[in-house]
Amino acid sequence: MDAWYKEYALTGKKRVMGAGHRVYKTYDPRAKIFREYSRKAVEVSGDPKLKGIHEIAERLENLVMSQLCESRGICTNVDYWSGIVYYAMGIPIEQYTPIFAIARIAGWSAHLMEYVARNRILRPRLYYKGMLDLEYVPIEKRG
């Protein structure tokens, strides 16, 4: 793992999910809490697979912190450890993204309210590439 990390992540070719934050340029204080939850979840579960995942996550975090945090302000954040906690809780992996989004809706809404209050135009940088012109199906008729 160390060689892969150094070859790809440190050269800027790959991102380490859960590393970096727009606000926190030092260790995310929420990550410290989730890291402890992660450790406890692994302990309680007794699952050797989860223990191995946690050990790899700790090694990777140590590399991120030693190589990227001080030099580039890229430290692990709360999302780095939350996946292990969600896994230990038995939450299906496909639910991680909705949980991530739900936790941020209040902040996203606050930003939108600020933009509207300042009469600022939002200019998204991404383009929608999904399906268009789909027929609306009421929720009670969906399968």
Going by pLDDT thresholds of 50, 70 and 90, the confidence category of residue 98 is very high
Q: What is the pLDDT of residue 120?
A: 73
Mean pLDDT score, 86-115:
88
Is pLDDT of 32 > 60? yes
Residue 13's alpha-carbon distances to 9, 60, 76, 99, 113, in angstroms, are: 6, 16, 18, 28, 36
Residue of 19, 132, 106 whose CA lies nearest to 66: 19
| pTM over cut 0.95 | no
The number of beta carbons lying within 10 Å of the beta carbon of residue 18 is 23
Looking at the annotation, which residues are catalytic? Answer: 21, 79
Going by pLDDT thresholds of 50, 70 and 90, the confidence category of residue 16 is low
CA 133 to the chain's CA centroid: 32
Residue 93's alpha-carbon distances to 5, 42, 46, 98, 114, in angstroms, are: 23, 17, 20, 10, 33
CA 95 to the chain's CA centroid: 13
